[in-house]
Amino acid sequence: MADEKGGNNRKRGCQRTSNLTFFFETSAVPHGAAYVMNYLVNGNMYRRRLDTLGQKTQYLRDIRLSGNAYVLKGLENIPDN
């Protein structure tokens, strides 16, 4: 009977390992999907945070100055009107 118990414990340990592996692999899918979606929509795999009004303003400024939100331009590129 000891052999049977040991065998069952080994099976449970293997099942726990496979459950953890499945959990970590499936929890990584949304992060990978975000990169793929950004590549399809924006043409690159980077993201910009737009949480605050200041970040949104900088995002729109970069689009206005360079035509691309991911090409950052400095103050020297702002025209002196």
Overall average pLDDT of the 10-25 stretch: 73
Give which of 44, 49, 51, 53 is closest to 71, Cα–Cα: 44
> Above 70 in pLDDT, residue 12?
no
The two tokens of residue 72 are: 């950052």
> Above 90 in pLDDT, residue 53?
yes
Q: What is the dihedral of CA 10, 11, 15, 18, to 10 degrees?
A: 70
Overall average pLDDT of the 13-21 stretch: 74
Overall average pLDDT of the 50-54 stretch: 88
Q: In this predicted structure, what is the pLDDT of residue 11?
A: 58
